[in-house]
Chain A
Amino acid sequence: MSSVTPDFSQLETGDVVAERELTLTRDTLVRYAGASGDFNPIHYRDDFAIEVGLPGVLAHGMLTMGAAGSVATDWLGDAGWVKDFQSRFTRPVPVDAKEGAPVTVTATVGALDPEARTARIDLKVVFDGSTVLGKAQLVAAFA
């Protein structure tokens, strides 16, 4: 890895520390279903999703949260570890069979606690012009 390990003393509230565009595809969903054990058919069957009143196959909320978390932990590297991670699931992410769902993740320093050496990283996750996760916050404890 060529990435630079973040230095706690260099962080400032409001810093954008990582930004990534990722495309959730049906392949991503199948992999997540297998890895997590969440086989709810709304995540892989259009006919089933439509029958229960959804626009089509949706990404698992926990996949979106997990992928957003990865943007932060890939940045964090071995400079620290994740003490706390929370999110609300405010809006569904429909995943088109052909195009997938392009999602942008922005990780910003939301708060710093120099005594505890923790940084709250706020994750903004946008799909189709709207934020899909609410209060997505990860607290990183630095060594």
Chain B
Amino acid sequence: MTAQELVAPPRAPIPPEAAKAFTNPPAIPTVPGPELRIDTPRDGEFAPSSYTLNELLRLTGQNNPTLRQAQLHISAELGKAQQAGLYPNPVFSYEAEQIGVDVEGNKDSPGEFQGGVLEQRFVTAGKLRLSREKYLRRAHVSEHLATVQQFRVCNDVRLHFYRALAAGETLAIRRELLKSSEDAAVTAQEAYNMGQVRRPEVRRANVTLQRARLSVMRAENAQRESFRRLTALVGVALKEGAVEGSLTPEREATSFESELGRLLAESPEVAAARAKLAVDRATVERERVEWVPDLVARGGAGYNFEAGETVAVAGLSLELPIYDRNQGTIRQARADYARQQQELRRIELRLRNRLAMTYEQYLSSLQHAYEYERVILPESKAAYAELLESYKRDRVDWPEVLMAQHDYFDAKLVQVDNLLEARTHEVLIAGYLLHDGLMAAEGSTPAGHIDATPRPR
């Protein structure tokens, strides 16, 4: 089969005697068969359940893995803080010196000194305290990031909850629109029989009907998809069902500046960045004292085989910071600190950027939703009702009524989109623009920061 044959349209079933003798109108197409309904639950299989938003949020809190991850990030940082603050252990060593030294009366003695030595490092300049503090501050960053993750997850659950709600309403309206198309198809048959329309118009009505049926199937698929995605966010397998709630926005809309002010003041992302700045400040403090030498004292007791008596050893060591005063690392830490200051600014600007887009969509969808509610839906409904009344009094043709009915249901469909968009952006604005609840929880230290000593400091 060539490509040309593949794109060739199917043969049109044109009756040979059309318009020469009465020919029955093209039949109304049948509904799509079971082979296209592989994902549709059979009658009786589908046990309708319904879920509220609060119930789903509660289940999410218990089951979404990224929330657990975020908690583990905190635990990890606390572990580091604990570790970084631990005092160094004393070192015990056994020493044998000058083994084989000749001594009077006894050549090749076991040594001048055989004994145990205990060495202890005395940490100076509060290095351990500063290290612990640094990691505690990192734990604080992780706490903010856990809040970020919580908003990501809860907002995403809300978004998908409203998507599922809208999908349900869309499906209901699509079914009404299907009835409208069915009516139009039957009307075309009636009109054909009365000589009021021609065969192509009957066929057009049939095409419109089948498209409406496909739209209903698509809406059913979309409803199932939205519920399945919601289930994925919740983190637990839920029985397929409906959601209960309202798409109507609840939050009082305020100006962009007011929303931006609130976002910058309260966003957990900003709080995390500020906390990270404190970490970087602590890092600088910590690195600034790194060069202060620790005092390493050692002492012990043993037997001096040369002198034939028990002797003691003692020592004190101190690193002389002649060449390495940790100046490079201090510089690096200061650079990190300065970089984090810019990071804070970057985050604020990024929030402003994202809010600008979100706010525009929020405002536009709110305006649309309000005006659809206030004017467009009532007007469309009134037009439909008036035409129905006129039809009742034999004053208009039925196709005109059907057109108004279609327009009304179509406006309702648009309103569901308006409300969903308004709700979506309301959730994002109220939830500090955070979403994507299956993204892995972030840790406190982005790649590239100083963090690479075997013993944390």
Tell me, yes or no, whether A binds B.
no
B interface residue numbers (CB < 8 A to A): none
